[in-house]
A and B are shown apart, each in its own frame.
Chain A
């Protein structure tokens, strides 16, 4: 008996170090050869980006030039460099040790796969779009082969393999359970790291927004996904979130600095337009996150509050088509009015519905959301009171102006030209800052804790003295007010308000399904999650023309994949980051609602 347990121990030990004789590669090559393949392949991949891949510039991005990478070739170039860097680090090259703290294979493997996927995507896209492999120049063939080499090398890396191929493949991309304890970093170094990461992040994000054609955007997404995955398995993301946790306010400040810097990097106001839309939808999604992520109330009609804010702002904007065309509030007043109107609607809708739980609430909010749109559609003077102009909406909403600074015009600031959308973008950054502040402060307080408690177990929460209805109503009303606030800006950005966008699901963004998907995809209960989710979901159909009328299908697929592989969303919240306390205990009782079921669980039996 004792012998058996001891052998088991030794086997687990060997799995941990991955250097024991039992470890072998999926391809039978010596370790030295595998690494050489990785390094050489990585460099060759990068080099191949300098060649001409095709003969015609019909394929977007002009990949016909020898001696300079263009378009998709840049992505291949970056992926090759990344593979080479990770490989060098695995050789133990000085100064690169930090790339692979756990000395695991997964980051190298994923970098190699990333290079392979981006390059082959490009090559296949060329072949398909131009109609045949004849359109590939030798450079294209070389790139395809060069990017395959590191993958072969990667699969020859030693891992403690078993018999099951699927398990074996999983081992190659698995994140190790344990990392060597990270060294303490001086505070200024931490800040320097945050600054650098912010700059890189801004650069990567800007590159994504500025991609001019769908192929490049897809390649970009492939590369970013594999790179982040590689960094994740290398433990880099964990290290970074730990650093962020030490410097919360600094990170927040850097984040906003980056957000403000964005329009200054843009020469085309079209991209600032994308930026401002992302901010509007991100901000609204963050408001929804209070309701869904913190309080756990599934609100399927949330977009109505954005609509209330937008309509209110339009009515008091001084537009000649407004019912109150003589009235023109200054922006601060119309923003407050919009938020207040939304808040009132939030309370009116919340008061009767929040006594319901779970699915019932979802259905009722869905209904109210639709009622808003239909009501607005009918308040045209014919079928209802004349307030909203019905389906025509309220057009020609004048631009905002602050102290003579007209947001509708281009301005030159310090050598940079800020167009109309860039101006609104900066205004939205301010609004987003307010919403982020409200969110973080509310979440980390007595009221925020009671929201989370309600979400976790409403029965227990009420038994702890929380007035469930009241607390839920506050969450609902606050979320509504924040959406209304964002709505006031969106009315001015889009020149006009019409009823159609404020629906449950549609192919263009502000609809409840979009907002909800942004929250879930990004990560419920986090600040960055909904912003990232909104950015992704907005950019995908924007960049990929073929998706535009199928964006709902794409959402669906994205969400299904997400629920399967990363149910906590792209950005896991603080609670899930406490995973390292995980004991893997399975016998935690299930949380049944007391009022719905008789207490049949006999804990003592």
Chain B
């Protein structure tokens, strides 16, 4: 993915298997969000494709969602002047099909579908713990609840893969822990989760696998131990070899501490093509493979 002269994401091959939580980390500006935008069709990748369950997805956001990939946004994008319930109902869009005519005629089918949508939406609000706020405007929710609502809205499209862009940004430790529980609960429903985070403790606790993105390229991918042990990750966060890549303090501390403990792990040398290191026995029937490739400048 290129923006003018800037190659934001280059040759990132990535596989997420069902029932898996995968973390995506990297310093600010590494291209994580851009990667998500490519996956969900908000950006059309300059080169490369996104495939989900074996079929290549067209770079159209609504088709991607329909296929089963839902997402949240780093800078919350709720429908601010809609109520909490309505936000989730909008999320149901792809799983319902009542058009204008049935809305005007209001037949029994329409009423049934509306009722079913509402029930499902309430279920989801219950799930994230916002049921009591159903009639509040989204913009009046506190920050943490807005993030939860975004997750509920994304879940409303019954996704097979959920993309979370910094779900704990701006949260206090308690809220972060609650979010952790929430992500586990989502995973337990059989939904694969790919999440971007800067909170290292959170990521390493949660993820079965972690991938590190630095300057648009995938540096390492593997289990928490492998990634924490990788010296290049530390370097990327501390900013030694890559100038101008501001490392997040906490991340650096954690990575440093971990690195100091562990021996130098078997670092991966190939950046462009990374086989996934997760247990290969994960059911492959539901998987999303993506590769966005760009040429070097």
Contacts and interface: CB of A to CB of B under 8 A. Distances in A.
A477 to B, nearest CB: 9
A445 B40 contact: no
Query: Most chain-A Cβ atoms within 10 A of its Cβ — which of B99, B103, B114?
Result: B103
A10 interface: no
B208 to A, nearest CB: 23
Given A446-B98, A604-B198, A466 B71 contact: no
A94 interface: no
B108 to A, nearest CB: 15
Contacts of A575: 81-83, 137
Query: Most chain-A Cβ atoms within 10 A of its Cβ — which of B90, B110, B154?
Result: B90
B166 A445 contact: no
A-side interface size class: 35 or more
Contact of B140 (A441, A449, A585, A590): A585
Interface stretch (B45-53, B59-67, B183-191, B265-273): B59-67
A523 B16 CA distance: 48
Contacts of B120: none
A154 B286 CA distance: 73
Interface stretch (A281-289, A451-459, A536-544): A451-459
A602 B99 CA distance: 38
Contact of A604 (B70, B83, B169): B169
Nearest to A589: B75
Contacts of B204: none
B157 A464 contact: yes
Interface in A412-456: 437-438, 441-442, 444-450, 452-453, 456
A456 B100 contact: no
Contacts of A599: 33-34, 74-75
A583 interface: yes
12 contacts: A441-B104, A445-B103, A447-B100, A452-B86, A457-B77, A463-B40, A463-B73, A464-B91, A464-B154, A465-B65, A465-B66, A583-B140
B93 A464 contact: yes
Contacts of A594: 37, 42, 73, 77
A127 B28 CA distance: 72
Interface string B100-133: 1011101000100110010000000000000000
Given A442-B104, A460-B77, A578-B137, A588 B83 contact: no
Contacts of B248: 604
Contacts of B199: 604
A603 interface: yes
A598 B4 CA distance: 12
A20 interface: no
A447 B80 contact: no
B72 to A, nearest CB: 9
A462 B93 contact: no
B33 A442 contact: no
A605 B65 CA distance: 29
Contact of B61 (A445, A456, A463, A474): A463
Given A464-B65, A465-B61, A465-B62, 19 more contacts: A444-B103, A445-B98, A447-B98, A447-B99, A449-B86, A456-B80, A459-B42, A459-B77, A460-B73, A463-B61, A463-B73, A465-B94, A466-B62, A587-B143, A588-B80, A589-B75, A590-B75, A594-B77, A604-B170
A461 interface: yes
A577 to B, nearest CB: 10
Contact of B77 (A478, A581, A591): A591
Query: Most chain-B Cβ atoms within 10 A of its Cβ — which of A441, A442, A464, A582?
Result: A464
A71 B139 CA distance: 49
A474 B136 contact: no
Contacts of A478: 100
B10 interface: no
B146 A588 contact: yes
Nearest to B154: A464
Contacts of B14: none
B79 A453 contact: yes
A467 B93 CA distance: 10
Interface string A566-605: 0000000001001001110101111110110011011111
A468 interface: yes
Contacts of A452: 79, 81-82, 86
Contact of B3 (A445, A466, A581, A598): A598
B43 A595 contact: yes
A468 B135 CA distance: 25
B103 A602 contact: no
A442 B100 contact: yes
Contacts of A604: 166, 168-170, 198-199, 248
B203 to A, nearest CB: 12
Nearest to B137: A578
B114 to A, nearest CB: 7
A456 B76 CA distance: 13
A462 B78 CA distance: 12
Query: Most chain-B Cβ atoms within 10 A of its Cβ — which of A437, A588, A594, A603?
Result: A603
Given A581-B137, A585-B142, A466 B90 contact: yes
B103 A447 contact: yes
Given A456-B80, A581-B137, A595 B42 contact: yes
A605 B93 CA distance: 33
A449 B169 contact: no
Contacts of B114: 445-446
Nearest to A462: B61
B82 A461 contact: no
B96 interface: yes
A467 B60 CA distance: 9
A444 B34 CA distance: 35
Contact of A457 (B37, B79, B89): B79
Interface string A465-479: 111100000100010
Contact of A578 (B73, B135, B142, B166): B135
Nearest to B33: A599
Given A453-B90, A465-B93, A603 B169 contact: yes
Given A457-B79, A465-B62, A578-B83, A449 B89 contact: yes
Contacts of B98: 445-447
A596 to B, nearest CB: 11
Contacts of A441: 103-104, 106
B80 A591 contact: yes
Contacts of B2: none
B209 interface: no
B61 to A, nearest CB: 4
B66 A592 contact: no
A47 B93 CA distance: 63
Contacts of A446: 89, 92-93, 96, 98-99, 103, 113-114, 117
A479 to B, nearest CB: 12
A578 B106 contact: no
Given A452-B82, A456-B81, A603 B74 contact: yes
**Nearest 8 CB-CB pairings of A with B:** A465-B94, A445-B103, A465-B65, A604-B169, A460-B77, A603-B169, A456-B79, A462-B61
B68 to A, nearest CB: 10
B153 interface: yes
Contacts of B143: 587-588
Contacts of B66: 465
A244 to B, nearest CB: 17
Contacts of B153: 464
Nearest to A468: B62
B88 to A, nearest CB: 10
B100 A474 contact: yes
Contacts of A461: 79, 90
A487 to B, nearest CB: 20
A450 B79 contact: no
A292 B264 CA distance: 61
Interface string A286-306: 000000000000000000000
A450 B93 contact: yes
Contacts of B42: 459, 462-463, 594-595
Contacts of B93: 446, 449-450, 464-466
